[in-house]
Amino acid sequence: MGRKNKQISEVTATVDRGWHLARTPLEMDVADIEYALMRCYEAFGRWQAECLASVIEFSASGPENALLHIIGMNERPKTIRDLAHMTNREDIPNIQYSLRKLLKAKLITRTGSGRSGVNYDVTALGRRVIERYADIRSALLIEAVSRVPKLTGRLADSAHTLELMTGIYEQAARTAATHRRRHPLPEPKAARPGKSRG
């Protein structure tokens, strides 16, 4: 172990990482990755919003921005079912709301009907927006990533780890839902003894 790594390990050992979700070393490691995921998700959302705002005056959340790019992916129309599956989402009403925003901004178009199936595709404006977004992403984000030593070699492993954790969370959620019981209401607190009024 190098001197720098040894110093980091010594400092880490002095930090108390324990709390109610991190009682064992493994729980601490999982809690650390969960916090990192939350912070990364928020930073990712801010990046998406700022990058899109530099292309077009359109206020979009991170998930709405993601939907726009996924609709434009591989130049083929997508159904709501496709979009939900590709983003691992179940909140169809929220997806529909986002699609209405993108339609109103004329970034996507809707074809088909309820019986034959509704498809969403990017418009000519939407295609220009996502292509310009890709240019800015390459110039700012990808350039920054490329300057971090050895980071590019770790990206594939990181993506694989996140996919594994996604599967584990999904299975744990199914198990929790399967075995969830109806919890009784908490008992009312006993009245504190004191002088009676009267």
Q: 52, 58 in Cβ contact below 8 A?
A: yes
Ordered by start, the domain boundaries in the chain are 23-149
Helical packing angle, 62-72 and 92-104, nearest 10°: 70
Bridge partners, 108 (sequence order)? 122
What is the percent of the chain with per-residue pLDDT over 90, rounded to a whole number? Answer: 63
pLDDT over 60 at 122, yes or no? yes
pLDDT confidence of residue 194 = 60
Q: With 0-12 CB in 10 A as exposed, 13-18 as middle and 19+ as buried, what is 64?
A: buried
Q: 21, 27 in Cβ contact below 8 A?
A: yes
User: Which are the contacts of 85, defined by CB distance < 8 A and separation ≥ 6?
Assistant: none
Distance CA 146, CA 136 (A): 15
Q: What is the mean pLDDT of residues 78-98?
A: 94
pLDDT over 90 at 9, yes or no? no
Q: What is the mean pLDDT of residues 169-189?
A: 83
pLDDT over 80 at 162, yes or no? yes
pLDDT confidence of residue 40 = 94
pLDDT over 60 at 74, yes or no? yes
Q: What is the mean pLDDT of residues 62-82?
A: 94
Half-sphere exposure of 89 (CA within 13 A, CB side): 18
pLDDT over 60 at 195, yes or no? no
pLDDT tens digits for range 21-35: 878 888 888 888 899
- Does the domain made of 23-149 have the CATH classification 1.10.10.10? yes
pLDDT over 90 at 188, yes or no? no
Q: Which residue has the higher pLDDT, 131 or 195?
A: 131
pLDDT over 60 at 11, yes or no? no
Average pLDDT, the chain: 87
Q: Which residue has the higher pLDDT, 102 or 195?
A: 102
- Residue 109: phi, psi to the nearest 5? -130, 155
| Conformation bin of residue 42: beta by default, left when phi > 0, alpha when psi is -120 to 50 | alpha
User: pLDDT class for 19, splitting at 50, 70, 90?
Assistant: confident
